[in-house]
Amino acid sequence: MKISVNAGTADKWSGDLLIIGILEGQLDNPLNLLEERFGKQSKDCFERNKFSGKKNESLTFHLLDRNPEKVICVGLGKPEELLLTDFQKAAALGARSSLGSAGKLGVLFPWDLFRTEEAAAAVAEAIRLSFFKDQRFRGKPDVQTTPDELVLLGISDSISPVLETINPICSGVELARELVGAPPNELTPAGLAQTATKIAQQFGLDLKVLEKEDCEKLGMGAYLAVSQGSDLAPKFIHLTYKSKSKPKRKLAIIGKGLTFDSGGYNLKVGASQIELMKFDMGGSAAALGAARAISELRPSDVEVHFIVAACENMINGSAVHPGDIIKASNGKTIEINNTDAEGRLTLADALVYACKLKPDSIVDLATLTGACVIALGDEIAGLWSNNDRLAQDLISSARNAGEEIWRMPMPNSYKDGLKSMFADLKNTGPRAGGSITAALFLEEFLEESTPWAHIDIAGTVWSDKDKGVNPAGATGYGVRTLVKWVTQQN
């Protein structure tokens, strides 16, 4: 999608469609503009339809023979309550109403309520992403017509550098959505490795894929235990982006990459949504989506390692028994008291591997616990960190990205829940506070001083309903936050 700015407002601009964001109770300016440009009928239309600018309100009028021929007004709500996400939701609502039309789409919002650059990027991203529809697995895809050019009105050229980040970021989010949306018979651990290979080839990154034997040599007993009940080989993926200029920061991003989680012998039964467990590689999708975006954006002074211990959690005669004791690559022994707490086992060895690279910070993303979904629902991810600065950076990156996140506590006393009678640790604590003990488990595999953050995306990876910017299905959560974090837009 071509994206540009135009310093003029809607009074002179001509294109095919126009979306105008209107604040609740502040109709005078937009109404005058519409009346001047399109005549009195527009004002009457507002009154007849009782449009007042509330959130989720929209009003479309068709102006035959005009240029634009369709104007879509969307409500932004009260200015004092306005968040960047409200801009995004309203933009997505407008974009949905524009479906079926091709051509040039103009958008006019009260940009100056935020930093113009941030507002413009957030709205443009929301519009492109709300057009995304995954039809790869339909025999006959619906034909969907969408505008192919976006013009942000009332904004000067000085924001061009930000404009250039929008398409690469959206391509990263869309890649993540496609990876998460692919069924487990299509997207296997080898498929994830193949995706990493494509990114490496397209953008000239370094890629190492460790096979099972390589992982055995490194003593990755926790990761390999999860994989041993599957017919598919594990693939440990390590993709590296390095800026041309000498890097001043070295970062590691780890994504949980379970291409299917059956639960193992603690099989997922009842309402545990086993049929959705293709999304259990959402962390790796975010990591690879971010890798794609970052390699296209080419930020300077930074080196980023993307790490995925990809495998499946399945059942066969060689699968882990509940009760097995295994050894991770840092020498710690783990009693597997629940085979369904498998993500943390794969992450344990990935964290040990990442620490050996001596990064300045490590962030992991994982669809780790159902408990996180109970705590925060499907719109907010959980954040745990041993470092306040890193946590704060991620919180502001997420805010800038329009992705919601909430920091959670890591009380030392909860570590007691992970004590094993036989081994150094067990992999599952009590049901209560389950997302916290999961984070505390991960912390056991860090070298102490490394700043680290863990983001539990079990809720945000998938949306049951169409929510505007996020159509129903895979959301691509995490890509935008990671890109803003790496490129220091926080």
Which amino acid type is present at position 156?
S
Contact set for ligand BES, span 211-270 (CB under 6 A): 261
* Minimum separation from the CB atom of position 346 to Zn ion (A): 9
Distance CA 200, CA 247 (A): 19
Backbone angles phi, psi at 270, to 5 degrees: 65, -130
What binding mask, one character per residue, do residues 34-53 give for ligand BES by CB under 6 A, x or -?
A: --------------------
138 is catalytic: no
Backbone angles phi, psi at 294, to 5 degrees: -65, -40
Contact set for Mg ion, span 256-275 (CB under 5 A): 261
The answer to whether the CB of 425 falls within 8 A of the CB of 335 is yes
Of residues 344, 399, 426, 484, which has the active-site annotation? Answer: 344
The reply to whether 280 sits near ligand BES by the rule CB under 6 A is yes
Which of 390, 185, 165, 195 lies closest to 289 in space, CA to CA?
195
Of residues 128, 177, 256, 268, which has the active-site annotation? Answer: 268
* Minimum separation from the CB atom of position 227 to Mg ion (A): 13
The answer to whether the CB of 462 falls within 8 A of the CB of 471 is no
The answer to whether the CB of 46 falls within 8 A of the CB of 18 is no
Q: Which residue in 150, 170, 373, 446 binds ligand BES (CB under 6 A)?
A: 373
Contact set for ligand BES, span 329-348 (CB under 6 A): 338, 340-343
Distance CA 241, CA 200 (A): 9
Scanning 23-31, 300-308, 363-371, 395-403 for contacts with ligand BES by CB under 6 A, the matching segment is: 363-371
* Minimum separation from the CB atom of position 373 to ligand BES (A): 6
Backbone angles phi, psi at 198, to 5 degrees: -60, -45
Scanning 184-192, 221-229, 339-347, 412-420 for contacts with Mg ion by CB under 5 A, the matching segment is: 339-347
What binding mask, one character per residue, do residues 446-465 give for ligand BES by CB under 6 A, x or -?
A: ------------x-------
Measured from the CB atom, is 247 or 370 closer to ligand BES? 370
The reply to whether 168 sits near ligand BES by the rule CB under 6 A is no
Which of 441, 466, 470 lies closest to 454 in space, CA to CA?
441
Measured from the CB atom, is 24 or 312 closer to ligand BES? 312
Q: Which listed option, Mg ion, ligand BES, Zn ion, none, makes contact with residue 351 (CB within 5 to 8 Å by class)?
A: none
Which of 440, 378, 454 lies closest to 412 in space, CA to CA?
440
The answer to whether the CB of 237 falls within 8 A of the CB of 257 is yes
Measured from the CB atom, is 98 or 262 closer to ligand BES? 262
Backbone angles phi, psi at 206, to 5 degrees: -85, 140
Measured from the CB atom, is 121 or 320 closer to Zn ion? 320
Which of 452, 437, 438 lies closest to 387 in space, CA to CA?
452
The reply to whether 340 sits near Mg ion by the rule CB under 5 A is yes
* Minimum separation from the CB atom of position 384 to Mg ion (A): 18
Contact set for ligand BES, span 410-439 (CB under 6 A): 428, 434
Bridge partner list, 2: 149
Q: Token digits for 139?
A: 């025999």
The reply to whether 261 sits near Zn ion by the rule CB under 5 A is yes
Our measurement of the distance from residue 378's CA atom to the centroid of its chain's CA atoms, rounded to an integer in Å, reads: 12
Distance CA 41, CA 386 (A): 59
The reply to whether 26 sits near ligand BES by the rule CB under 6 A is no
Q: Token digits for 172?
A: 């990263």
Produce one character per residue of 457-487: b if its CB has 16 or more CB atoms within 10 Å, e if not: bbbbbbbeeeebbbbebbbbbbbbbbbbbbb
Distance CA 222, CA 192 (A): 20
Contact set for Zn ion, span 309-348 (CB under 5 A): 343
Q: Which listed option, ligand BES, Zn ion, Mg ion, none, makes contact with residue 90 (CB within 5 to 8 Å by class)?
A: none
140 is catalytic: no
Measured from the CB atom, is 94 or 255 closer to ligand BES? 255
Q: Which residue in 370, 396, 415, 490 binds ligand BES (CB under 6 A)?
A: 370
Residues that bind Zn ion (CB under 5 A): 258, 261, 280, 343
Chain contacts with ligand BES (rule: CB under 6 A): 261, 280, 338, 340-343, 367-371, 373, 428, 434, 458
Q: Which residues are catalytic?
A: 268, 344
